[in-house]
Amino acid sequence: MTVFTEENPAMTVEGFTSEIEGLEGSNLRSVAAAFNRQRFIDSLLEDGFSIDDVHEIFVAFAQRFVQTGQRPPETGAVNLLRLAREEGFLGV
């Protein structure tokens, strides 16, 4: 599995979502926490990702939390619990 780092955001959206699909447990939580900061989002945007791309990456995190039976975190730049609800992964 590729190691995510802020210094290595040069992946495609599909690459990010593929890697996210392989995360579980504390690894999922730690990677999501590292990504879910405004500084990282800004670096993605600066590297040419669109806001829709960034949204898709965070949707993948929200979905993965639900798939693995974990409550998505509400803290960080993006409220993943709210996103999971908005995307229909969780009941209201």
pLDDT tens digits for range 26-77: 999 999 999 999 999 998 999 889 999 999 999 999 999 999 999 999 999 9
Q: Can you tell me the distance from the alpha carbon of 44 to that of 1, in angstroms, rounded to the nearest whole number?
A: 20
> Has residue 36 been placed in a domain?
yes
Full domain range(s) for residue 70: 13-86
- pTM score over 0.85: yes
> Has residue 54 been placed in a domain?
yes
For the cut 90, the answer to whether the pLDDT of residue 7 exceeds it is no
Buried b (16+ CB within 10 A) or exposed e, 65-78: bbeeebebbeebeb
> Has residue 52 been placed in a domain?
yes
Residue 1 has what pLDDT? Answer: 40
More confident position, 76 or 92:
76
For the cut 60, the answer to whether the pLDDT of residue 2 exceeds it is no
> Has residue 66 been placed in a domain?
yes
> Has residue 3 been placed in a domain?
no
